[in-house]
A and B are shown apart, each in its own frame.
Chain A
């Protein structure tokens, strides 16, 4: 394997196969996340959720996908056609790109990744910022006031929460001393008799809380789902989209949901380490836990108003994140001398 990887041609074969496998896995995972959300939300709301197509409704997403794929590719009049078509592809491409640097623990000492670079987290943030373009351009090019309002809201929201999201992770980087996700997962402590990797949430609990809230906003999920607040702005930036272009936005939203869940697991909950549980199961279980958290929030909480959301982002989360960085710095200096 190593020989093949080091061969100039073989290298590209390995990487291409790895990308194909990952695309397949992430797409499938996304489809079942949608299924999981619909069933879990259904149970929260005392209804069965999808249960007709296939066993336990597991094929529902295939049915929905086929239905949406065969819809007419409609472009409303007076839209900016180029931007209108490009916007959803930006969303889905940016969402997939993040997975290039996310490592997945398959077995003990066996991990799967496409690019193992030393600025992994930074790259993920870079890609997730591209999402703003997708939403803003989609809202702008649709020739619809609701879309425009939704797009503008979302641009403001994503930019403000990205800052809190980024700052919430700085203490983690300061402690670990690396932006490579594998290093963060493998961060080893020597606490009395215990030597080994620990979930970093024990070290930076405040960072975790900020990350969790900012991540919900970053993925446009309830209770921060203002850009597509269907009761106010009909569909927000999605109003004029249908068929496959709609699917792309939808796909991007759920991939982003999995991405931030996976990041939460990797950055704060020790990635694939969980006692005696096989690594891949541990990782998947942690991701599912965070996905459920999102669904739970959506099933329970009312939506915040736009200005309240901005206030929370700028006046609560960001100062808290900065204070967290300062305190962590002081403690680090005190401990390490």
Chain B
């Protein structure tokens, strides 16, 4: 560090291409556009980026470690909190992993409700992405418009689960509660209005010359790089590879829905933007199909060893009281073994690796989070771009820092 007339500059000693010296700037962790607490150590040559070194760990909450101390059914609550923009999808990954170990299959109504919640979550996650990305590139009204629809989704979360964000709605063995008639009504109304709102966003941005010039050709990620760096979700689809776990490794009956995998061959920020817009439209299509086919029936597996008995049974059946007591003191045990299940979240492959040693608590839970892996591609995308482009690129990588650090 040396001081020259009031300005402290970290001298790297390297010469830049424009005759000046490389300036090392520390972006974050409390920079407004780093989506939370991402810290980037950036070498700037003029305003061009020569090196980016992400520093993570500022939002490490020890979620994976915590889960080892919690009983199987308690772990759900913690999964809500790593990718805090898509809690039900996190729940789903964990629930599917536990169910796979236990060898149970949830009833059809629960499957459809899970799909509904997953798609609503994908929509709300994309809406937050779009609002914040718009804000980062200066289109500040986008945030307000997107949060209007996101609020409708949070209202639905509240109606069906009692919580607006951390729903813990999807649980091993089924879902928390059946959908209320009011929820279905709200959902129906939402499906009706959402396509119009997506058109509205597109009116503001898709053909806007400033938006296009800020995103087209910025942050190129070739299909080969995307594969090598393990990108998933809109990141890899924006590079033209139709990799969507809902199609390629279907779960919860996704293979029975009619929807397209959104891809774009642009390989840049604009491509990733188009992919997310298209995904929003496809999600609405899936929601419509799910709502139309929602079958009657139970929403939980009929297994007293896994899920508590209904309240009324407790007054007449000693068996039920014992089950209730055992479940809420010791919990259930899961057969020993390990399993990896991946679901498609708004950000990409959200995987959950669970190891059980046959007791009532997991031996190890590991999340393969899309944000963490997608963040690896940041330097590849942002090199030799300007600082302002880096903001756009971080935006379209759509990393949630809670998900990165876990």
Contacts and interface: CB of A to CB of B under 8 A. Distances in A.
Interface stretch (A109-117, A119-127, A300-308): A300-308
A162 interface: no
A231 B389 CA distance: 11
B139 interface: yes
B141 A45 contact: yes
B34 to A, nearest CB: 10
Interface in B129-148: 134-141, 143-145, 148
A47 B141 CA distance: 10
A45 to B, nearest CB: 4
Contacts of B5: 80, 140
Interface string B223-260: 00000000000000000000000000000000000000
A302 B33 contact: no
Contacts of B141: 44-45, 299-300
Interface stretch (B114-122, B207-215, B318-326): B207-215
A78 B25 contact: no
A78 B6 contact: yes
Interface string B13-47: 00000000001010000011100000000000001
A303 B210 contact: yes
A302 B139 contact: yes
Given A143-B8, A231-B32, A302 B137 contact: yes
B387 A298 contact: no
Interface string A299-337: 111111111100000000000000000000000000000
A174 B136 CA distance: 43
B32 A301 contact: no
A78 B4 CA distance: 10
B204 interface: yes
Interface string A224-244: 010001111110000000000
Contacts of A304: 210, 213-214
B210 A306 contact: no
Contacts of A300: 139, 141, 204
A306 B47 contact: yes
Given A46-B145, A304-B210, A308-B213, A145 B25 contact: yes
A50 B248 CA distance: 50
Interface string A148-161: 11000000000000
B3 interface: yes
Contact of B6 (A141, A222, A299): A141
Contact of A230 (B8, B32, B389): B32
B210 A301 contact: yes
A223 interface: yes
Contacts of B214: 302-305
B301 to A, nearest CB: 44
B138 to A, nearest CB: 3
A204 interface: no
Contact of A302 (B9, B31, B210, B386): B210
B391 interface: yes
Which of A149, A223, A302 neighbours the largest number of chain B CB atoms within 10 Å of its CB? Answer: A302
B388 interface: yes
A87 B324 CA distance: 71
A305 B134 contact: no
A146 B387 CA distance: 11
Contacts of A233: 387
Contact of A299 (B140, B387, B388): B140
Contacts, number: 96
A46 B144 contact: yes
Contact of A305 (B7, B9, B213): B213
A231 B134 CA distance: 11
Nearest to A146: B25
Contact of A231 (B23, B47, B138): B138
A300 B9 CA distance: 37
Contacts of B389: 305
Interface string A280-303: 000000000000000000111111
A142 B8 CA distance: 10
Nearest to A44: B141
Given A78-B3, A149-B47, A234-B32, A303 B8 contact: no
A79 interface: yes
A109 to B, nearest CB: 44
Interface string A197-232: 000000000000000000000000011010001111
Contacts of A225: 138
Interface string B186-222: 0000000000000000001100101101100000000
Contacts of B145: 45-46
| From B5, B143, B214, B387, residue with most partner A Cβ within 10 Å | B387
B208 A301 contact: yes
A47 B144 contact: yes
A145 B23 CA distance: 9
B388 A305 contact: yes
A47 B148 CA distance: 10
Contacts of A301: 138-139, 208, 210
B387 A232 contact: yes
A304 B386 CA distance: 12
Nearest to B385: A305
B137 A303 contact: yes
Given A45-B143, A46-B148, A305-B386, 7 more contacts: A145-B9, A229-B138, A230-B32, A233-B387, A302-B205, A306-B386, A308-B213
28 contacts: A45-B141, A45-B144, A45-B145, A46-B144, A46-B148, A78-B3, A80-B5, A141-B6, A145-B8, A145-B23, A149-B387, A222-B138, A223-B138, A225-B138, A231-B138, A231-B391, A232-B33, A232-B388, A232-B391, A233-B387, A299-B140, A301-B208, A302-B139, A302-B210, A303-B138, A304-B210, A305-B386, A308-B213
List 8 tightest A-B contacts by C-beta distance, closest first.
A303-B138, A45-B144, A80-B6, A302-B139, A231-B33, A302-B137, A231-B136, A302-B138
